Amino acid sequence: MFVLTSSQMREIDRKASQEIGIPEVVLMENAGFCVFEEIKRDFETLDDKNIAVFCGKGNNGGDGFVVARYLAQVCPNVKVFLFDDNVTLTSKVFLDILKKLEVDINILSEELLSSLRAQRFDIIVDAIFGIGLSKDIDGLYKKVIEYINGSGAYVYSVDIPSGVCSDSAQIKGCAVRASKTVTFVYPKVGHILYPGSYYCGKVIVKDIGIPEKIIKDIKVKILTAEDLDISKFYRYPDSHKGDYGKVGIVAGSKYYPGAAALCSNAALQSGCGLCYLLTPKEVLYFQNFRRPEIIVLPVESKEGIVSFDGFVKFDEYFAKFDVLGFGCGLTKNKEVEKILIHILENFQIPIVIDADGLNVLASSRDVRELLASYKSQKVLTPHYMEAARVLDVDVKDVAKSPIDAAKKIASEFRAICVLKGSRTIITDGDEVFINILGNPGMAKGGSGDVLTGIILSMIAQGYSAFEAAKLAVYLHSLSADILLEKKTMQTILPSDIIDGLDSTIKRLIKG
């Protein structure tokens, strides 16, 4: 499913009215009616309810007037609250109708708001701001939103909860906490990313009569099973291990032996034919935690961290690998940087860079330049903090506009960027997929190592870097969701996600 920004939505609106000739009043009427229908569906009867409709002066408020008109036909206790009766031309059409129908319309003031505190509304419709929210909310608007949030009413937000920025999902000062949000055409970024997503309640997407053919060039999508190619999951009866690819992984240190185990176990468990792990000799005691199928290439180390001299002894192996993973648990030091430079200068293998590989990338100009010009496919898998380091910005800037941050990393390094978070974003710099599966049980050290292993495995099995990233993110989070059927968010571990790949892949194949 597509995800829109406010400017795309406006462009769709403009085309619908100017190119196709559907008047804005028709769209507003449809939008308001859709919200009314949703309310009617949720309640057996409405005639015994106290209902308040709060309307701003933009077109979101206009949608609110339409909702109020329909509600007033089935309920005697509908009150409309306006901030300003100087509304847009289109909204005015519906405000005038309400006036003629003698619906109870009130202009909000501090005094009126105080008197409202003594009343009880069962249902509140929030039509204060939609995609036109342009600045932080303060003054009477803020007080009304706080009143709505403390009212105990069932709250419907029209299009988006007032206060949530539809493009960034950031909260502009304060925001309505909706029970349900009814939006139009497609969801907006603000409904999908956090924190906006928290405020929306259940999101219902309604068709308001905009012809499909004018909705073009939308580059942001919610990642669904339909976006995944599982054709390569089929294993031919006469195949052998070489047909499913060889993964090479450079990972682990005496400090993080588990990262190497998780990454390589995940690669193996998601289908690759062979998995080689280059890891410091000191980590060999960790043998019990690795699947026995993993081929270990023990690297001489310096104080428990892979050494350059030790690493280059395995150069000949690199011709075998179909893909290389670099970074999980390596720790960051000069030797690690030298090794990454050596790889980028001497080999042409698709590469997935995670964790300390990204930290080295953030701090080394040589690595940045070499990676940007590296010809093979590349996947970078930063979390927000790593992305901030790579982009040399504050992590708050990444959180404010994660899609832009991910696209920037992808473009600069001509790579696929997998920006990991509660809504992981996958992009090639142009097309963007937002993952909405997964749960907070995944917020544990080691989750990222597992994801890197699955991406590696998918590339080894013949998927392009973009396809592999999409599949891996989906499988990783679906596995965590399936685990919740028997476990809790507290008890799910990244290693369980690996074990869970079994039922996850089965479910994905079954459809």
Q: Which of 8, 157, 364, 479 binds K ion (CB under 5 A)?
A: 157
Candidates 504, 501, 425; CA nearest to 470 is: 425
Candidates 432, 465, 426; CA nearest to 221 is: 432
Q: Which of 8, 60, 364, 504 binds ligand LZDS7PUF (CB under 6 A)?
A: 60
Q: Which of 121, 184, 276, 384 binds ligand LZDS7PUF (CB under 6 A)?
A: 184
Closer CB to K ion, 162 or 168, in the complex: 162
Q: Which of 159, 282, 386, 449 binds ligand LZDS7PUF (CB under 6 A)?
A: 159
**Total Cβ atoms within 10 A of residue 287:** 12
3 state DSSP class of 402: helix
Residue 63 assigned as binding residue: yes
Q: Rule CB under 6 A: is residue 158 a binding residue for ligand LZDS7PUF?
A: yes
Longest distance between any two alpha carbons in the chain, whole Å: 86
Contact of residue 329 among ligand LZDS7PUF, K ion, none (CB under 5-8 Å per partner type): none
Cβ contact 189:6 at 8 Å: no
Contact of residue 59 among K ion, ligand LZDS7PUF, none (CB under 5-8 Å per partner type): ligand LZDS7PUF
Cis peptide before 161 (omega within 30 of 0): no
Closer CB to K ion, 51 or 223, in the complex: 51
For the window 340-369, what string marks contact with ligand LZDS7PUF as x by the rule CB under 6 A? Answer: ------------------------------
Residue 86 assigned as binding residue: no
Closer CB to K ion, 155 or 399, in the complex: 155
Bridge pairing between strands 104-107 and 123-127 = unpaired
Provide the minimum distance between the beta carbon of 26 and ligand LZDS7PUF in the complex, in angstroms, as a whole number: 9
Q: Which of 34, 123, 158, 185 binds K ion (CB under 5 A)?
A: 158
Query: How far is 224 from 433, CA to CA, in rounded Å?
Result: 9
Q: Contact region for K ion (CB under 5 A) — 121-129, 166-174, 368-376, 377-385?
A: 121-129
| DSSP 8-state symbol, 466 | H
Torsion of Cα atoms, 265 then 270 then 271 then 272, to 10° = -50
Query: How far is 456 from 249, CA to CA, in rounded Å?
Result: 9
Q: How many residues bind ligand LZDS7PUF (CB under 6 A)?
A: 31
Cβ contact 3:188 at 8 Å: yes
Q: Rule CB under 6 A: is residue 186 a binding residue for ligand LZDS7PUF?
A: no
3 state DSSP class of 218: coil
**Torsion sign across C-alpha atoms 331, 332, 333, 339:** positive
Contacts with 343 (C-beta within 8 Å, 6 or more apart), sequence order: 250, 318, 324, 326, 351
Cβ contact 490:444 at 8 Å: no
By CB under 6 A, what part of segment 86-145 binds ligand LZDS7PUF? 88, 129-137, 141
Provide the minimum distance between the beta carbon of 137 and ligand LZDS7PUF in the complex, in angstroms, as a whole number: 4
- Going by the annotation, the residues of the binding site are 59-63, 126, 130-136, 141, 159, 162, 259, 329, 383, 420-424, 448-449
Task: Cite the annotated binding site for K(+) by residue number.
Answer: 60, 126, 162
Residues that bind ligand LZDS7PUF (CB under 6 A): 9, 13, 24, 27-28, 31, 56-63, 88, 129-137, 141, 158-159, 172, 184-185, 208
